[in-house]
Structure 1
């Protein structure tokens, strides 16, 4: 009978093992298990691609993205020279731009799907020149993406080089902070604007403001963009390229700042804080704060609120919260102050861009239903939710809509959409009862924020657009790019006129978010002052011009402009001439608010005159109620500092009063002559004299309209001429005559004068894309990992498991342009030159069901002792073929299946006469492995993750015999094996930079053949040793394969073995040097980690570790076959180990050093030292 203390120890260890297993769940064959996230293709639109090669780019698009692709070609060529000038760099290769129709399609692309923070010793990553962009209904945002993509390619070439030699030289030495590159890409991609200014203002004026470094950690792109903007404003834009050049030459950002700006990087950060703090503090004093208290909505974690709509009776507010892809819609009762969730969808996704466009909501005019337009698996659904009953109806939206951007009810069965169809964002009427669509606009201009209004008892649509005129006509993109600011337009639903009413015409501002206030007034948001504030307006009728109606004797009529004449009409045919006024509508607008923060969205309940507005203040999205008072006008708000700088980009302007010309006959009419300008009275753009009727978008003076005639008109106002001084003295000045507000808008809305024509797009140059492959990486490194599951044939090596000897792994990877197809081939040559391995894999990820093909071969020789003095030698040859499929359920979850055909051949080499009699054995097996994989881990640093991942698998292996000696023979009745296992890991953030990593794994094999697992040691152990004291199954038993169960530190390999095992590990990984400095330049110290660990596990035969079938406690002593003694004694099957270690990058390898003490049968063993390579456990 065993002592009680043994029983207590066994109970304790079992409890501890179960505790660790309950905390998390990893792998049957070592720790290098393939998890991974997925890209899901929901459609077949990627089947055919088109390409267009222009002067500096090769652009690709698919399906109905032709017009988006054309716009990208023209935008890229339009800005190419300017970006080169800003960065002062050139590259020889053409940049490849891949165009997607929307953000959802980008997420389905395979480009960039490889994992980061993997061991890349000796790997030369070919820095690509691929840029992928998508359309969100706004060509200005599309232009921003194109510019940022070009800038990223250029920065990679500047900082890391454009050929393999330069990349190898610079890849390790460049340790730039994230804000440096991301901020510079943003700086080149778009000018400083109202949205960026609002975000930075809110941070700097908040209580959490602690300087540049904290913002760089929270939002590196905003921090970097603001710093580069600050440098450009304070020191000149030329210093940006100087900083880039010297940063690369000196291999140090600190030296770059010191040499170019004459001060250290830290001082520039302090000056940045003072600059913006002073500016925003002064601006804050001149503006109003929100007087109302924010609604107490359910948002404790301060997540982004994307949309808010108030019910028609003004009693409830529906709002949307989006947590990096997981969206929830709440209904807030204003009287009760409570929120109820009515809809949820999506999932948290920190790895791809968050889609803040969906879902879209709007209240039905009946006040009882909310329309919810959301997207699921790339299909848009329209759900009608009844707020009283909680029931809903749902149907997919017509597939013609590529994406919807806004939705507004016209009546209970009709909606107005702003949506993209065939690459154009236009306005549509959608009938919910018939699912039919009626198109309102059909051109290449961007039409957004469509909302239904009733003004003067007439139904209409207000929307924002960057169109240049008011005539509705079918237009295709040609020589004009739709990249101007947004103005508001009105479309009358009663007469369906082909002419719109222009509400605003502001060259330096954007107007968005229109809404109806009552039957006379409407409201909208404008950033004319540099902050989005509310303005209001109404429509009035006026006499646009006069027509003459000529009635002829035969009863027909001719209508002409009153100033026109018909020279060929016989006057005797005229009966009557009537002069009629032509009445049109115009808008009268005025500002209403002067808030200190942007109003992001607004919505009004017209029945009760109660409205809601969304603002960002103190880092929180807040909802405020207010009562619209459109007639309460305020004086124009002063411009912010950024808005003033925006105007100052046109450096000098000269106003020339031209002499009045004498009228000349039509044949001698002269065009304006461009002459050399003298430096007379220079004024800024803010004081350029422009016709007041053109500046005030609300009032239209009919006397200032010009009608074409055969005579020259006198110029009553001066011509505005813009003179841009060159940055270099030797360059000539650029002169441009400004004759309209729209031309002045062109000047103000881009960094430089828009004097060049867009690139001429020729449809004849569009060709189908042909498959092409490029080298993705080439690897030459030291490696001893287990390839292809690490299954060794037990018959080939019955004396124990032999880890691969360290060898030189040569591996090359090739991918096509879209990374849908991937070839990988390699060879590993051991340092002993025994056991060379070859493998080739091919992956087909074109469609949702991913496919993989693989071939693997290894040939290795083994030596063992024999009864004679001549060692026995045998050669083991493994030939393996695999076919695998992966079906992704979403980005984190997938179902996988792998079929395997394997042949293990053992040949006895001739060392003596008896060895010639040993036959060659060949074992053939077919296997099928099914897996369910989940992985949402986020790599925050090398070997440090956050999140969870796990795998559950079932495998079946069937032995068969296929022979061709005497014909073809096939036999399946040879043996079978089944395996069930799990593998999971969880990473919990700890003390900001550290992580607590939990791991558990287990597997069991069963059937007429089994697997034997050897517990002990670590993965990729460089100087491993095998424990021969623990008995292993004898040759001839039903053991088919052998595998490792690691990590179990404190012991050699084979501290326990059996056909089943359970194992758990816990590690504390602490990058200690990150706690002493925010910026650790050295790669060694940046990735240096202290590790504390505890391992516990067991392997056994039979039903449980304490089963009598377990041979662990039995030892057979054999004296040359004369005397055989069977000894039984007690060993606790559960072992544990604890210790500490370090992790560091050395010579491009992630080296793991562990020092561990093992615990076996309550006894602490002597410590052991482990040296291995590889990440994670």
Structure 2
């Protein structure tokens, strides 16, 4: 994944932020939070081409990573015919939870992000998630990006000064190449492309979006390599380096543009996948569908878990936009209850949908699952009928896949500690943790036998007690059985493997393919599991005693997460179809076993399934590398400057310089606009310290601006001062901000009666911020966000302003259907003291060519310290003012135009235009005024007094570079009601 550092993309963002500190509410910014829970101590080792940074104690993991990435470099360098021009930093985290705390980029890192490469400093950042195979894949993928950036952008300073970074590769090109380089082709990619081709949602190459950017792009690069030769990749990249145009590069090398190549690619996919329709079956043809992701507006319905009586199924779904746990009927799929609301509070920040798992207590009163909380991974026990919750925490870096024992006293799970993933058993009575395996192989999906004496699980281990780096990458996932106390199990022979604790692990139905997600039959004689033995994940059933295996399904896309019902009469599973995941129930599985194994897919028979060669990996190559302690090393994020000269004003110039260390914990930004003299220039310096949980910031600034009002008054303001900021994130969704700002304003008026006026201010602010929203194309579509703030400015010498201000802004977004949202917003505030602040209402934010109702807003107390709130459509800017205010907005947002193609003379195409119906009502008043909402007019009808109100409709379109809004409003407070207001504005919806 590519990450464009927000602190760089925003070039002038620091300057804007500092300028924002000169207005009230300068700490009031919506947004979710990155929580730094651990103060990491770092070290690093140097390989031939990379600096591998690792958390102290994870030296062994770093040496393995160094071996992997150097091996990947040899292959990518040969493929692209390019060598790195500089050393590349590789930052390695010991778990995904730690990885999400990174400050290399300021964006939030989601659970689905496997790693990223930051563009401007070419830093590779990856987590270890228990699997060395996955670590190798992610390192190879991200190194491909680093090689791309090195080829196209060159060194840091060269790129920044020559603006090469303004060219961005299309995502299908960047991500597709990285996926193809790292794995060639794989089961997941084949499933997604087969589904997209057969069900008809595969767009042209240039229109790939979402996960198709990765897998569609990967498929296209594979197609190019197979049809035109693998050497063309290096030629295309070399051409792209010069042209900075993907279309021209393909035409120059292949003689065809992207449109023609896309058509060829589509045709080849149809020839490949359409014959599969006759050879395989849809999930609906062999099992009953219980969910429908398209109808529900969801992407995933996964992890089905039968209740002990078999009449209910608990499962994970994102049908609300958030990942929640639901309870449904096992008969018809009717939703009975929402058990857990995820991703809205600190207890359930992430629901681990990629490696989750839900399990029931034997009495059916509780479910157990693992979720990330504000303090790390937690094993939750959640009452089904009530609201009781129990929490278990362990000294592990990550937790996955819980499974409740038949006696109800223990839960098996997978945990990551250090550089290993192992199988554990948690004892619920005392909270103790027992370790069943202790090795460097990956474990997943534990399942208890019905008698509670054995645990089946999937692992990529091989019969080697001390695996090498190469061994960790060559083993396929098989199903193993272990005693629940690490005791030996019968079955000595070639299927038996002895672990370091001398427990016997019995391998079941071994194959060179990947076998995952075992589930026991109620009699304990069989195990059902998912396997890609034919190139597609299907369900199989193995006899525990004889090791014989029979196929249960032969589907087009794939079957995952099998779960055997307590009575043995059903198996629930998930399947990918039409771009999403659904849950099915197959009845009488033992009566429906296939007589023959499913035929292999075309790609399963090909030789390029894995392009990398693991045999040359030698972990000992970096065994003696010197471990060095990390010291902050600073380098520029952005350098942008220009200088000019005028015979009237002399020299002038602008500059933006942003600098940070490798980890991103220390960030400096300096911005200046030099003009005529030092006193007439603008300059700001900001420093952020992000290493601890409390984020700290310091700023000093000076700005000089000249104004001409609508009354042709001419004046200048010199604004200077400094501030400090502290932000404490409670969780991803809630934080507390504290700010102190000291500033002075020197106003000089010009004209017939010039005068000078000085104003001083010491402002402290405290804000409580909550944000759980989900974004759509033009604004939030679901969730809640609020800011409650208290500002205090004491009376200090030298003509100061003294006031206290309390304000609230709360917004609730109700998703009432797919792409339909109802929004309510409540805002209010009051100010008191010697110089109470003014609240101005009217118009809409970022109004293009606005109308102003008043002209006294240029006073110092109004220009710099007044609050301006909107929208209040049906009014002009600053139409309403007072020291107290209330504002209510209601909107219904809906799809207006999905796709519009215009003919002559415009010849343009527009899509995804959303509509809105709205109503706004608000008012402002002072301490001396009595609030009065209504009074009777001359005709006896109620008329608004202290309030203004409007209603109307509008449209929004995302233009890519900005969101354009149009509103037409009718004011209710004006008579006649025929008056209309038109608003064109920019920016997202509130």
- Name the TM-score class by shorter chain: 0.7 to 0.9
Answer yes or no: is the 8 Å Cα contact 2:103–2:690 preserved in 1: yes
Query: What is the CA-CA distance between 1:1101 and the residue it aligns to?
Result: 4.7
Show the counterpart of 1:762: 623
Matched, 1:87 2:87: no
Show the counterpart of 2:447: 451
Matched, 1:638 2:599: yes
Report the 3-state secondary structure (helix = DSSP H, G, I; strand = E; otherwise coil) of the residue aligned with 2:802. Answer: strand
Show the counterpart of 2:411: 415
**2:477 equivalent among 476, 486, 489:** 486
Show the counterpart of 1:376: 373
Show the counterpart of 2:519: 515
Task: Give the 3 Å change call, closer, same or farther, for CA 1175–857 of structure 1 in structure 2.
Answer: farther
| CA distance, structure 1, for counterparts of residue 120 and residue 894 of structure 2 | 31
Residue range with higher mean Cα deviation, 853-862 or 57-66: 853-862
**1:819 equivalent among 660, 664, 674:** 664
The within-5 A match list for 1:204-603 is 204-206=197-199, 208=201, 216=209, 219-290=212-283, 291-297=285-291, 300-322=296-318, 326-334=322-330, 338-341=334-337, 343-347=339-343, 355-357=352-354, 359-365=356-362, 369-385=366-382, 390=386, 392=388, 394-400=390-396, 402-409=398-405, 411-453=407-449, 459-469=453-463, 473=465, 475=466, 480-492=471-483, 494-495=487-488, 497-507=502-512, 509-517=513-521, 518-538=523-543, 587-603=547-563
Answer yes or no: is the 8 Å Cα contact 2:682–2:704 preserved in 1: yes
| CA distance, structure 1, for counterparts of residue 378 and residue 431 of structure 2 | 12
**1:854 equivalent among 699, 702, 723:** 699
* Unpaired segments ≥5 residues, structure 2: 1-19, 110-117, 490-501, 644-651, 934-944
Query: What is the CA-CA distance between 1:329 and the residue it aligns to?
Result: 2.6
Answer yes or no: is the 8 Å Cα contact 1:324–1:348 preserved in 2: no
| CA distance, structure 2, for counterparts of residue 310 and residue 1159 of structure 1 | 56
Report the 3-state secondary structure (helix = DSSP H, G, I; strand = E; otherwise coil) of the residue aligned with 2:323. Answer: strand
Answer yes or no: is the 8 Å Cα contact 1:27–1:1002 preserved in 2: no
Task: Give the 3 Å change call, closer, same or farther, for CA 1132–171 of structure 1 in structure 2.
Answer: farther
Residue range with higher mean Cα deviation, 237-246 or 1038-1047: 1038-1047
* TM-score (normalised: structure 1): 0.65
Task: Give the 3 Å change call, closer, same or farther, for CA 201–1070 of structure 1 in structure 2.
Answer: closer
Task: Give the 3 Å change call, closer, same or farther, for CA 1162–833 of structure 1 in structure 2.
Answer: farther
Query: What is the CA-CA distance between 1:469 and the residue it aligns to?
Result: 0.5
Query: What is the CA-CA distance between 1:1050 and the residue it aligns to?
Result: 12
Query: What is the CA-CA distance between 1:930 and the residue it aligns to?
Result: 2.2
Report the 3-state secondary structure (helix = DSSP H, G, I; strand = E; otherwise coil) of the residue aligned with 1:256. Answer: helix
| CA distance, structure 1, for counterparts of residue 816 and residue 789 of structure 2 | 31
**C-alpha offsets along residues 128-182 of structure 1, whole Å, 9 cap, x if unaligned?**
2112112222222222211121112222333444444445656587465432222
Answer yes or no: is the 8 Å Cα contact 1:1051–1:1168 preserved in 2: yes
| CA distance, structure 2, for counterparts of residue 827 and residue 1083 of structure 1 | 41
Show the counterpart of 1:74: 67
Report the 3-state secondary structure (helix = DSSP H, G, I; strand = E; otherwise coil) of the residue aligned with 1:244. Answer: helix
Query: What is the CA-CA distance between 1:1002 and the residue it aligns to?
Result: 6.1
**C-alpha offsets along residues 442-494 of structure 1, whole Å, 9 cap, x if unaligned?**
1112222233337xx99433332222206xx5x47667444432233333555
Answer yes or no: is the 8 Å Cα contact 1:838–1:857 preserved in 2: yes
Show the counterpart of 1:980: 806
Report the 3-state secondary structure (helix = DSSP H, G, I; strand = E; otherwise coil) of the residue aligned with 2:100. Answer: helix
Show the counterpart of 1:953: 789
Report the 3-state secondary structure (helix = DSSP H, G, I; strand = E; otherwise coil) of the residue aligned with 1:444. Answer: coil
The within-5 A match list for 1:782-931 is 810-829=655-674, 835-858=680-703, 878-904=719-745, 924-931=760-767
Task: Give the 3 Å change call, closer, same or farther, for CA 458–1158 of structure 1 in structure 2.
Answer: closer
**C-alpha offsets along residues 582-604 of structure 1, whole Å, 9 cap, x if unaligned?**
xxxx8444545433332211122
**1:622 equivalent among 580, 583, 594:** 583
**C-alpha offsets along residues 974-1003 of structure 1, whole Å, 9 cap, x if unaligned?**
973122335578999999999999999765
Query: What is the CA-CA distance between 1:958 and the residue it aligns to?
Result: 0.9
Report the 3-state secondary structure (helix = DSSP H, G, I; strand = E; otherwise coil) of the residue aligned with 2:274. Answer: helix
Task: Give the 3 Å change call, closer, same or farther, for CA 335–1150 of structure 1 in structure 2.
Answer: closer
Task: Give the 3 Å change call, closer, same or farther, for CA 494–952 of structure 1 in structure 2.
Answer: closer
Task: Give the 3 Å change call, closer, same or farther, for CA 448–981 of structure 1 in structure 2.
Answer: closer
Show the counterpart of 1:723: none
Query: What is the CA-CA distance between 1:198 and the residue it aligns to?
Result: 1.5
Report the 3-state secondary structure (helix = DSSP H, G, I; strand = E; otherwise coil) of the residue aligned with 1:395. Answer: strand
| CA distance, structure 1, for counterparts of residue 980 and residue 309 of structure 2 | 76
Answer yes or no: is the 8 Å Cα contact 1:462–1:514 preserved in 2: yes
Query: What is the CA-CA distance between 1:361 and the residue it aligns to?
Result: 2.0
Query: What is the CA-CA distance between 1:640 and the residue it aligns to?
Result: 0.4
| CA distance, structure 2, for counterparts of residue 1077 and residue 986 of structure 1 | 37
Alpha-carbon RMSD across the aligned residues, in angstroms, is: 5.7
Answer yes or no: is the 8 Å Cα contact 1:362–1:370 preserved in 2: yes
Largest Rg, 1 or 2: 1
**C-alpha offsets along residues 697-723 of structure 1, whole Å, 9 cap, x if unaligned?**
xxxxxxxxxxxxxxxxxxxxxxxxxxx
**C-alpha offsets along residues 1040-1088 of structure 1, whole Å, 9 cap, x if unaligned?**
956767899999987676545678999999999995599xxx9999999
Query: What is the CA-CA distance between 1:861 and the residue it aligns to?
Result: 9.0
**1:613 equivalent among 547, 551, 573:** 573
Answer yes or no: is the 8 Å Cα contact 2:370–2:402 preserved in 1: no
Answer yes or no: is the 8 Å Cα contact 1:1142–1:1153 preserved in 2: yes
Answer yes or no: is the 8 Å Cα contact 1:216–1:224 preserved in 2: no
Show the counterpart of 2:139: 146
Query: What is the CA-CA distance between 1:344 and the residue it aligns to?
Result: 0.8
**1:932 equivalent among 749, 754, 768:** 768
Task: Give the 3 Å change call, closer, same or farther, for CA 981–348 of structure 1 in structure 2.
Answer: closer
**C-alpha offsets along residues 308-363 of structure 1, whole Å, 9 cap, x if unaligned?**
223455443332224698333333343575432362132279xx998314643223
Report the 3-state secondary structure (helix = DSSP H, G, I; strand = E; otherwise coil) of the residue aligned with 2:794. Answer: strand
Answer yes or no: is the 8 Å Cα contact 1:67–1:422 preserved in 2: no
Task: Give the 3 Å change call, closer, same or farther, for CA 462–1045 of structure 1 in structure 2.
Answer: closer
Query: What is the CA-CA distance between 1:425 and the residue it aligns to?
Result: 0.8
| CA distance, structure 2, for counterparts of residue 32 and residue 1159 of structure 1 | 33
Query: What is the CA-CA distance between 1:302 and the residue it aligns to?
Result: 3.8
* Unpaired segments ≥5 residues, structure 1: 1-25, 117-124, 541-585, 650-747, 783-806, 865-871, 964-973, 1109-1130
| CA distance, structure 2, for counterparts of residue 849 and residue 192 of structure 1 | 44
Task: Give the 3 Å change call, closer, same or farther, for CA 1089–506 of structure 1 in structure 2.
Answer: closer
| CA distance, structure 1, for counterparts of residue 980 and residue 32 of structure 2 | 42
Query: What is the CA-CA distance between 1:393 and the residue it aligns to?
Result: 5.3
| CA distance, structure 2, for counterparts of residue 595 and residue 929 of structure 1 | 60
Report the 3-state secondary structure (helix = DSSP H, G, I; strand = E; otherwise coil) of the residue aligned with 2:221. Answer: helix
Answer yes or no: is the 8 Å Cα contact 2:725–2:739 preserved in 1: yes
Q: How many residues align?
A: 916
| CA distance, structure 2, for counterparts of residue 514 and residue 1013 of structure 1 | 63
| CA distance, structure 1, for counterparts of residue 898 and residue 382 of structure 2 | 54
Report the 3-state secondary structure (helix = DSSP H, G, I; strand = E; otherwise coil) of the residue aligned with 1:886. Answer: strand
Answer yes or no: is the 8 Å Cα contact 1:67–1:424 preserved in 2: no
Answer yes or no: is the 8 Å Cα contact 2:857–2:863 preserved in 1: no
Query: What is the CA-CA distance between 1:413 and the residue it aligns to?
Result: 1.7
Task: Give the 3 Å change call, closer, same or farther, for CA 136–1076 of structure 1 in structure 2.
Answer: farther
Query: What is the CA-CA distance between 1:1168 and the residue it aligns to?
Result: 13
**C-alpha offsets along residues 481-536 of structure 1, whole Å, 9 cap, x if unaligned?**
444322333335554654433334433x1122223234433333321211122334
